[in-house]
Chains A and B, each alone.
Chain A
Amino acid sequence: MVSAGLLDALATGLVTGSIIAAGALGLSLIYSIAEVPNFAHGDMITIGAYLALVFNKPAAIPFLPDSVPLVGTTSLAVAGVLAVGLGATFSAGYELAVFRRFRRKDADLITMVIVSLGLALILRNAVLFLAGSKNVSYATEPVRDVFWDAYLTGFGLTIQLTQRQAGDIVTLAQWGYAWWLAAAILAATVGVGYAVYRERSAGEGFDVVHLVDPRVLGVGAGLATLLLCAYLLRFHSGVVADPLASTRVGTSWKDGTVVVLTALAMLALNVLLKTTKLGKSMRATADNLDLAEVRGVDVDRVQLVVWVVAGLLAALAGVLAGWSASNVNPNMGFSLLLPVFAAVIMGGIRSPYGSALAGLIIGLSMDLGVYFLPPSLAVYREAIAFVILIAVLLVRPEGLWGDV
């Protein structure tokens, strides 16, 4: 009998980390470009999750009829897109109605902190007011977990795909890799990854701007090779008897979608920041607002875009969090706020990439912590993010990567 182990905790952590990273991307934009330590970001995430609920399952919100006029009840995918769009619009509203006015008055950082706190109170209670404090979930098809059971035997590595169907465990597929094949695949992975890294980082200079960092590209290429080879070379059905070691990883396509969507959002943000003129003015504003204005950057427009993008990412994080946990409640954003802030500070507030990576690290360490710590300490899952943050701040107060 196989049981879940370290790999399973890693897979769970990857999903948690992706959601945190999606929140952290938006927060770090607001933090570095608009210079607002936005305590309302958690509640912007909640709002996003509830906006999707409005289109997906209006019956869960007392004041709404059972379906929205013109739209009706829609699938979560459509509802999510609508929610992300609306979340971005709302976010533009916060900038225009509140933060732009305070910026015009040259409000200092502490004032911005308190203002965002006031906004957070308004948003969270607006949700409570309209939707009540119940836990609800989206109307979606139930997604069944697929178990990836890995066995190390004398023959080599065997991977068995199983699923629980009507109480019984059903084997969907079984792939075996002999020792030499597994070693070859691993070597190919490392080789391709390193080759891509070397190829991309050649000609390194201060004026070379990579769209995607060579290290990220190398890791990505390596992973792609691993998955491709493993899928193409699955000749043998393998052996599962007398394993030397075995482990089980439970995932579903839901988890995969969360990770892929976050990665896509990151890539899109990356393209926006690095290849467009708007992105250039955003980066210039982050560096020095006055200087950017002198050089003809329309700072107000840049700030508006920043809030729109951040609202979009926050709503995305909200929908993903609500879907992945099958639970939407008014406090979900606040419980994400601490890890998201931890990620942003840890990654160095000037760098969206740093915060996304830190978000992944924090998500992974939260679930790895739950795996390694005794069960009585598992309730402190969110505290783990914080302990890491404090440790990092003690050693490097400017964040892991400093100003990138």
Chain B
Amino acid sequence: MALADFLITLLTFVAVYGLFGIGLNVKYGFTGLVDFGHIAYFMIGAYVTVVLTMPASVQGYGGIGGFDLPGLFGALFPGGALVGWFVGIACGMGAAAVVSLLVGVPTLRLREDYLAITALGIATILTAVFENEEWLFNGPFGVRSVYEPLAGVFPVSLGSFTLNMVVLGGLSVLTFVVGAFLLIQYARDADVRTQALIGVATAVFVLWYFVQPLLGGDMVELQRNLMWLFDPTAGPEGGLDYDRFFLLFSTALLAAGYWWVERTVNSPYGRVLRAVRDDEDVPKALGKATYRYKIQAMMVGSALAGAAGALYAIQLGFISPGQFGSTLTFFAFTAVIIGGTANNAGVLLGTAVFWIINSGTRFLNDFVPSEYSVQLAAARLMLIGALLIVILYYRPEGLLGEQEYDVGVDDGDAPPDRAVGGVARGGDGD
């Protein structure tokens, strides 16, 4: 597999789990709700979306489903299939939010640690229900027919091979240039340690991605790596294939979710959420119905997890209850804590770091005899658990720390926002 393809798979993963992590950040980072059942909403979003967009009467599927929303809307007007899929994912997000409402109403009145264990229990029960009730969503056999939006259009070709290569390749090179520019701009204002870290990470990436094929004399590989958007084997004239499109598509949805959450946390509403997290009594004393804020944060976070689930289903092309174990919730927590709790950019960074550790060590599989693959997977998870503890001890605010907020208050005559909340959370710094 070419490095470019590996990178595309990895980035799609990061986009999907980044959306999942941002949903968790709304709950845990900004509102302080320890929802150990986050995976349940991911699962619900995936199942509801898949079932709503699935064509009627699929062989080997005995559960509820076959509503074929894309077909339904596609018959009404051109481009309706995509609209139908969006209706499906909206329903998936809605279902996740409604279930989290049902879970939240009894549990959000409880102490934070009670919430953690009840949420974990409810998620475990829900997975067991999906596993055991075949009439519901086909039980352990899962769903094999996942609708892929716009799949019929791809591979897209702009015309001749040269035109494809110039346009798509040019765009790819442009992404590298813009990325490098942004990185340099960020590094210029950072302290020396961060600069060193960025320098090392960039060097490793360049060595792995560009220098390695160059030294190997594999010019075709180098060209494919550089023009990652252009797939010469897609269609007769080359072009943009579905995997690459899906990366762009999930990145776009991630950006939409990111934007939504950023707007939320930077608004007066988000200020109340943070106040609930830091000390619930204070906003309560100021007349805020904190319980409702917590429920709303729970629903927003779960809806985002549901959207991530819908994307996950497309990426894998197959879903079954076994894929939605509680470990994924813990992975998301790890990603959020590594990157920086209550920092959306940090969550994306944390997710990337986490999945690079998790997938990047997979090449070790080639060197280790296959009978030790269980050991290797276990060692990887031990490493992640240790990383979680070490980060919490030495840098509880994560790699990036809590983000700064655009609170819209004039600095001159109003107290800064943090005065409302009091002490920072998460192990208290030093």
Interface residue ranges, A against B (CB under 8 Å)? 37, 39, 98, 101-102, 105-111, 113-115, 117-122, 124-126, 128-129, 132-133, 338, 341-342, 345, 379-380, 382-383, 386, 389-390, 393-394, 397
**Chain B residues whose CB sits within 8 angstroms of the CB of A129 once the complex forms:** 374-375, 378-379, 382
Q: A101-B393, A110-B112 are in contact. Are A125 and B385 (CB under 8 A)?
A: yes
Q: Report the minimal beta-carbon distance from B128 to chain A, rounded to whole angstroms.
A: 6
Q: Report the minimal beta-carbon distance from B384 to chain A, rounded to whole angstroms.
A: 6
- Please tell me which one of the listed residues B118, B124, B330 contacts residue A389 in the complex, with CB atoms under 8 A apart: B118
For A398, the closest partner residue in chain B by CB is B111
**Chain A residues whose CB sits within 8 angstroms of the CB of B174 once the complex forms:** none
**Chain A residues whose CB sits within 8 angstroms of the CB of B386 once the complex forms:** 118, 122
Q: Say whether B427 contacts A111, CB under 8 Å.
A: yes
Q: Is B34 an interface residue (CB 8 A)?
A: yes
Q: Is B219 an interface residue (CB 8 A)?
A: no
Q: A383-B128, A393-B114 are in contact. Are A111 and B382 (CB under 8 A)?
A: no
Q: Say whether A125 contacts B379, CB under 8 Å.
A: yes
28 A–B contacts, CB within 8 A, in A order: A37-B113, A98-B389, A101-B393, A108-B427, A109-B113, A110-B425, A111-B392, A111-B426, A113-B34, A117-B333, A118-B386, A122-B386, A125-B379, A125-B381, A125-B382, A126-B382, A128-B374, A341-B121, A342-B117, A342-B121, A379-B132, A380-B129, A386-B125, A390-B106, A390-B121, A393-B107, A393-B118, A397-B109
Summarize B's interface: helix, strand, loop or mixed: helix
**Chain B residues whose CB sits within 8 angstroms of the CB of A114 once the complex forms:** 34, 333, 337, 388, 392
**Chain A residues whose CB sits within 8 angstroms of the CB of B381 once the complex forms:** 121, 124-125
Q: Report the minimal beta-carbon distance from A32 to chain B, rounded to whole angstroms.
A: 12
Summarize A's interface: helix, strand, loop or mixed: helix
Mark interface residues in B106-138 (1 if CB within 8 Å of A CB, else 0): 110111111011101110110011001000000
Q: Say whether A113 contacts B388, CB under 8 Å.
A: no
How distant is the Cα of A39 from the Cα of B117 in the complex, in angstroms?
Answer: 9
Q: A111-B392, A380-B128, A393-B118 are in contact. Are A119 and B110 (CB under 8 A)?
A: no
How distant is the Cα of A132 from the Cα of B374 in the complex, in angstroms?
Answer: 7
Q: A125-B379, A386-B125 are in contact. Are A118 and B110 (CB under 8 A)?
A: no
How distant is the Cα of A37 from the Cα of B112 in the complex, in angstroms?
Answer: 10
Q: Report the minimal beta-carbon distance from A393 to chain B, rounded to whole angstroms.
A: 6
How distant is the Cα of A102 from the Cα of B122 in the complex, in angstroms?
Answer: 29
Q: Is B306 an interface residue (CB 8 A)?
A: no
Q: A107-B428, A132-B374 are in contact. Are A113 and B113 (CB under 8 A)?
A: yes
Q: Say whether A379 contacts B379, CB under 8 Å.
A: no
**Chain A residues whose CB sits within 8 angstroms of the CB of B129 once the complex forms:** 380
- Please tell me which one of the listed residues A108, A118, A128 contacts residue B425 in the complex, with CB atoms under 8 A apart: A108
How distant is the Cα of A63 from the Cα of B384 in the complex, in angstroms?
Answer: 23
Q: Report the minimal beta-carbon distance from A252 to chain B, rounded to whole angstroms.
A: 29
Closest 10 CB pairs of A and B: A121-B385, A118-B388, A128-B378, A122-B385, A125-B378, A129-B378, A37-B113, A118-B389, A125-B381, A386-B121
How distant is the Cα of A149 from the Cα of B377 in the complex, in angstroms?
Answer: 50
**Chain A residues whose CB sits within 8 angstroms of the CB of B389 once the complex forms:** 98, 115, 118-119, 122
Mark interface residues in B386-399 (1 if CB within 8 Å of A CB, else 0): 10110011001000
Q: Say whether A111 contacts B330, CB under 8 Å.
A: no
How distant is the Cα of A342 from the Cα of B120 in the complex, in angstroms?
Answer: 11
Mark interface residues in B14-44 (1 if CB within 8 Å of A CB, else 0): 0000000000000000001010000000000
- Please tell me which one of the listed residues A110, A118, A338, A393 contacts residue B385 in the complex, with CB atoms under 8 A apart: A118
How distant is the Cα of A125 from the Cα of B114 in the complex, in angstroms?
Answer: 25
Q: Say whether A345 contacts B427, CB under 8 Å.
A: no
For A37, the closest partner residue in chain B by CB is B113
How distant is the Cα of A121 from the Cα of B122 in the complex, in angstroms?
Answer: 20
